[in-house]
Amino acid sequence: MLERRAGISDQKLVEAHGSFKSATCNCCSYQLDTSEASSIFWKLIEEDKVPGCPKCNSGLMKPDVVLFGESLPARFWDSQNDDLLKCDLVIVMGTSLMVQPFAGLPNRVRSTVPRLLFNDKAVGVFTKGVQQEIKDIELVTLPSTQNSSRDIAILGDIDTSVQKFLTLLNWTISDS
C-alpha cells in the first residue's frame, strides 16, 4: 500500500495484485475496510487468529490480494490499453520481467516512448541492445544490436540510484 501512503488517488492507481486495504468474506462476499492500523482484522492476524466475517458469522475474511492461480483484477485489464497509449515515459523498477502479463507491458507502449529501468541487473527488453547503461549514475554507451535508443538501464542499488538520479535532476524528496 506504498502508493496509497504516497497519496496516489484511486483513479490513478491500478493494484494489479490487489491490496490489503480491504478483505472479503468467502461466504457472503461482505467487504471490510482494513486500511486502519487499528482494524480488528489486523488485531486478529497479529494474534495468529483467522478473522471471521462480522456479518454472516460463518465465513472467513481474506485480504483482497491476488494469490497464485487467482485472476488479476478487472481494473488491470480494463485500464492497461488506454494507460499505455497515453504514457510519455515508462519506468520499470525492481523486477525480473519474467512473469506475464507484466513482462510484456514495456513493449506495449508507443515506439517513441522512452523506457527507463532501475534494477540490480538488466532484464527483459533491457537486455537486448540497450543503447545506454548507467552504473552509479555514470553514463556508459553500449553497442546497440537493435534500434533501442529509447531504453536506458540504471543498474545497482535501486534506492541509491533513484536518489542520485533525483539529485541530478535537481528534484528533492519531501518527508511530508
DSSP calls for 79-126: HHHHHHHH-S-EEEES----STTGGGGGGGS-TTS-EEEEESS--GGG
**Residue 73 falls in the annotated catalytic set:** no
Q: Which of 17, 86, 128, 135 is catalytic?
A: 17
Measured between alpha carbons, how far is 85 from 100 in angstroms, rounded to an integer?
A: 19
Q: Which helix (H) or strand (E) holds 45?
A: helix 40-46
On whether the CB atoms of residues 125 and 114 are closer than 8 A, the answer is: no
Return the half-sphere exposure (C-beta side, CA atoms, 13 A cut-off) of residue 129.
7
DSSP calls for 115-155: EEEEESS--GGGGSS-SEEEETTEEEE---SSS-TTEEEEE
Active site amino acids: 17
